[in-house]
Amino acid sequence: MSLPLSLIRDRFIGLDTEYPLASGGVARRRYLDSAASSLMLRPAWETAEAFLKHYANTHSLLHHGARVATHACIWAHERALALVGADPATYACAFAGSGSTGCFNRIARSLAALRPERDVVLVSGMEHHSNDLPHRKHAGQVEHIPMTGVAPAFGALDLKVLAARLESNRGRVNYVAITGASNVTGIINPLKAIAELVHAHDAWLVVDGSQLVMHAPVHMSDGIDFFAFSGHKVYAPGSPGVIVGRRDLLIGLEPDEVGGGMVDDVSLEDYIVSESFPGREEAGTPNIVGAVLLGAALETLMQIGMDKVHEAEQAMLAPLLRELASRPRVRVYGDTDLARSPRTGTVAFNLEGLDHGLVAAALNDYFGVAVRNACFCAHPYVREMLKPELWDSTLDVELESGIAELEMHQGMVRASFGLYTTWDDVQALLAGIDRLCADAQGFRDRYERGSDGVPRHRGFSAPVETLFDPGRELARAIAGGRPESPARLKVGI
Ligand SMILES: Cc1ncc(COP(=O)(O)O)c(C=O)c1O
């Protein structure tokens, strides 16, 4: 029996945090920034807290605490493999760093070392920098593959161009690195079709699952060779990045990082690398508490069922896109035809005549809605989508003020869903958008741009120490008081 989503939806830490509003009073925040980092799943946090009573290092089985820690870490790796449908006989899982960025750097270095004679990597034009720059730096010559459609309504990766580039670089493409879903538009790439093309050219497929794994089912058997994602985006802040990769490829290479825990024996002359996973890929003490958190969060997702998660999200995404399309002053980026270009619950938009920074600030200050703005570490993709607007603009880029203006316009606002997102949250966003569109000049007048280019309200501020002061919180904790709010608890190693 699956776990009803309704039993979990409000079990996240930080959903009831209240912040002051520029119009007076306070409001419970509406967290629509899950693509950046999702909120902590309370049952996962409670699991990690319960584990702390046993806390010990792994790498030993001779005292009870160490056995508990080792077992809990193995359990977490098994959960990660199961979530993406990875057969443990074919795939291994390793935890690394604090997100997927470290994973992509490792994958790039490793795959380049495995086949140095293959010096070309194909990367899509819609990548987050973390699945682009590591390949540029470590893996050879990167060619970027465009998307279907035209800006600002790009669709998924253009399979025809991908096929042509694989062909024109025949024998040279080591691997293709592609995001499962865009962190800007939420557009999902057709991984199975991509894998078929990639494998027909004896290349490997590396998938960035950072924006896919919490929104939709993933099947490694679709032909994915390496898959990576960030624990902090799957309701387990403080947990590591995750790599799921082919055992036969990993075993053929000395692990990228060396140190304690990944060797069977070391002499002054030599060392013997362990053959067992995940140990050989995780030099040093792992992020044990983070691993437990992550395992618990992933297990919860599996108990709900990723198909159910996806369905519930789509039930809010489709009406949100329709609502936005009905507002003439809103421009949504990426193809909005969900049948043609499936998406996750991530939507990037701009409002006519309002800078993206001002929109994000005003949504926060007046409506308690937390969204992200600018280029979301996907500068090439965002700029391509903005080009038609910038071409239309009357800005004089010969003037310094024109360039500053241009930079200000080079961005978008992004709202992104998590398991806890409700239609009420979406309505709060829409209400904010309507107020902003109805009184664009009024809102522009309330803000000025600081020397750092960030819009600041002329009369309202909420100094960060008044919201949360770690020193004060620590003093309270030492004095034996309860923390002000569970949202302020932080986990880390
Ligand atoms: C698609 C995508 N890939 C990679 C990353 C990098 O993740 P992290 O910052 O956790 O390393 C992100 C983060 O936003 C992302 O959205």
Which residue has a Cα nearest atom 14 of ligand 1? 36
Check pocket membership of 101 for ligand 1, CB cut-off 6 A: yes
**Residue 230 CA to ligand 1 centre (angstroms):** 7
- Structural domain span for residue 338: 5-31+306-375+411-462
Pairing between β-strand 455-457 and β-strand 12-13 as defined by DSSP bridges? unpaired
pLDDT at 407: 63
Check pocket membership of 128 for ligand 1, CB cut-off 6 A: yes
Q: Which ligand 1 atom minimizes the distance to the CA of 102?
A: 11
Mutation test of ligand 1: which of 107, 126, 210, 416 has the most ligand atoms closer than 8 Å to its C-beta?
A: 210
pLDDT (tens digit per residue) in 104-134: 999 999 999 999 999 999 999 999 999 999 9
Check pocket membership of 130 for ligand 1, CB cut-off 6 A: yes
Which residue has a Cα nearest atom 16 of ligand 1? 183
pLDDT (tens digit per residue) in 171-226: 999 999 999 999 999 999 999 999 999 999 999 999 999 999 999 999 999 999 99
pLDDT (tens digit per residue) in 141-181: 999 999 999 999 999 999 999 999 999 999 999 999 999 99
**Residue 211 CA to ligand 1 centre (angstroms):** 8
Tell me the CA distances in angstroms from 55 to 70, 422, 432, one per residue in order.
10, 36, 46
- Judgement on whether residues 280 and 352 belong to the same structural domain of the protein: no
Mutation test of ligand 1: which of 37, 100, 103 has the most ligand atoms closer than 8 Å to its C-beta?
A: 100
Q: Which ligand 1 atom minimizes the distance to the CA of 101?
A: 11
- Judgement on whether residues 63 and 111 belong to the same structural domain of the protein: yes
- Judgement on whether residues 238 and 320 belong to the same structural domain of the protein: no
Q: 289 with 52: CB under 8 angstroms?
A: yes
In a domain, 40, yes or no: no
Residues in contact with 49: Cβ distance below 8 Å, sequence separation at least 6, in sequence order: none
**Residue 414 CA to ligand 1 centre (angstroms):** 15
Please state the pTM of the whole predicted model.
0.94
- Judgement on whether residues 190 and 221 belong to the same structural domain of the protein: yes
Q: 331 with 116: CB under 8 angstroms?
A: no
- Judgement on whether residues 93 and 240 belong to the same structural domain of the protein: yes
Q: 420 with 338: CB under 8 angstroms?
A: no
- DSSP-based three-state secondary structure for 143: strand
In a domain, 387, yes or no: no
* Mutual angle of helices 159-168 and 191-200, in 10-degree steps: 20
Amino acid at 53: K
- DSSP-based three-state secondary structure for 227: strand
Residues in contact with 410: Cβ distance below 8 Å, sequence separation at least 6, in sequence order: 375, 382, 383, 386, 390
